[in-house]
Amino acid sequence: MKIRPRGLVNTGNMCFANSVLQVLVYCQPFHRFFSELRKHLAGPVVGSQREGTKATPLVDATIQFLKEFGKEREDDIFDELDSFIPTYVYDAMKEKKRFANMIGGHQEDAEEFLGFFLDTLEEELLSISQSLSPKESVKAPTEEPQVQDGEWLEVGKKNKTVTTRTAKSTDSPITRIFGGKFRSTLRNPHQRDSVTIEDWRSLQLDIQPENVKTLKDALQHISHPQPVQISIPTRPGVIHEATQQVLIEALPPVLILHMKRFLYDTKVGDVVKVGKQVSFSPELEIGSDLIAPSKRTPQPVRYQLFGVLYHHGPSASGGHYTLDVLHPNRELSERPRPAWIRIDDELVSDVRPEDVFGGLDRDDRHAYLLFYRRLTAWGPSRTN
């Protein structure tokens, strides 16, 4: 990708949205998909799908935003382009009720905005896919096939049967880029194991435990069996001790890790920020101990970090968001040289890797969302 870095103007507490939009610009599968989609939509992009029930204002705005972001300077010199206001996106947000609380000039949660943004794009893309002919369909990275609601018996180790349930999973370009799956197993000595397959778009990491000091520590907590108490319909009033374990059933091309920094404190009676620093590295390996046995690979699944979205300040109700992003070709040369840049609304600056990965104890910013792209193929090992 040849992208000239650009800032986005903060029109009033919109840094949460600006940071998310910026990292999506540098998310290659996302950028590539919407650039390709633009070729398939007839007529002018903005407003082209707004008639009737198939209105797609956010898809149109995203295409126009990426087009505006990537425009060339007339003199084609290397200087950065001017910052601009992503008006297309802000206007599209006004048409969707779920964004009602995010356009009033108040600071909002960047993770919640990202979820709303991707959910809305998915809904609009599904309406577009129904109107495109098979020849016009636009492909995103292929992952898991569509799964319908259902329940069945699996035969596991020692021919032990397991009841498996899965919720309906929507097959969309957004899911194929960002969507993963959990395999949650409930074990009760008095019943067969119960397995639920659950979708996720970001991995939520509990960073509160004292022994969590690194990203790897937080990931290990996902697979720890947790004690739960359950009741059985055939034995009303009797509480049974059971365990629940969560393992990864599927990993996406783009892995979003969400450090849970904003939690409700019963002593305070309000949401507070967890301000501890958690270290992370340029590459991440997802080992077999986190993956469901039937999906394990011979080698760990490797990811490369390309974006870190930070929250600044001690309070959960305010603060500021900035972004470090790995530019894939900073010098826009024929031989790409990745390099880190720092984006703070309109301000864009070059930074060293040690500015991203070191000196956390002296920093008032805290990593909140981490964006990784997969380097190795995903799929279970095969035996002859």
Question: Which residues are known to be catalytic?
Answer: 15, 320
Strand order in the sheet with 150-155: 150-155, 161-166, 194-200, 180-187, 235-250, 226-232
Helices of type H across 12-74? 15-25, 28-38, 57-69
- Count of residues making up the chain: 384
Structure tokens at 220: 């290990």
Which contiguous run of DSSP H or E holds residue 124? Answer: helix 110-131
Query: Using CA atoms, how far apart are residues 355 and 310, in angstroms rounded to an integer?
Result: 13
Mark residue 289 as left, alpha or beta (left: phi above 0; alpha: psi -120 to 50; beta: remaining): alpha
| Helix pair angle (15-25, 87-94), 10° resolution | 120
Query: Using CA atoms, how far apart are residues 80 and 58, in angstroms rounded to an integer?
Result: 26
Query: Using CA atoms, how far apart are residues 148 and 168, in angstroms rounded to an integer?
Result: 4
Structure tokens at 156: 């596991």
Residue among 356, 344, 304, 303 at smallest CA distance from 328? 304
Per the listing, tokens 């011979």 go with 298
